[in-house]
Amino acid sequence: MAERKTNARRTIRIMNPLGLHARPSSLVVQTASYFPDCDVSLTDGRQKVNAKSIMGVLGLAAAAGTELVVETKGRNAELALEAVCRMIAEMEKFEQYETREETQDAWRKLIKEITSKG
């Protein structure tokens, strides 16, 4: 993975009818944490939280239709932004998996696809 130090920002809308509940929140945290040298935050207009904190992400209580600003700062900021935004955009797809193993396999595939571009 090519390393870049930048800042990046994008606004994304929660499309999952169930919103950003516990399971997708944990995947967002896992995705953000995949980039240890990058700060990742989510802002919903009321508060800004660390996307690597499950309590912070759950605290947003982001329902379907909520717009979030995803900001990344540090090494691989653009890749981290792409990964977190893709996870949020595709979280409904992750609801279909019945086991943790299936979910993790799909997550690894998503991360591999994104990081292979960088």
Spatial separation of the C-alpha atoms in residues 55 and 101, rounded to whole Å: 23
Q: What is the mean pLDDT of the chain?
A: 91
Length of the chain in terms of residues written: 118
Helix (H) or strand (E) holding 87: helix 77-89
Q: What is the pLDDT of residue 50?
A: 98
Q: What is the pLDDT of residue 94?
A: 83
Cite the active site residues: 21
Closest alpha carbon to 26 in 91, 108, 81, 80: 91
What's the pTM?
Answer: 0.89
Spatial separation of the C-alpha atoms in residues 49 and 96, rounded to whole Å: 27
Q: Which CATH entry fits the domain spanning 5-117: 3.90.1150.50, 3.30.1340.10, 3.40.190.10, 3.40.50.1110?
A: 3.30.1340.10
The full set of domain ranges for the chain reads: 5-117
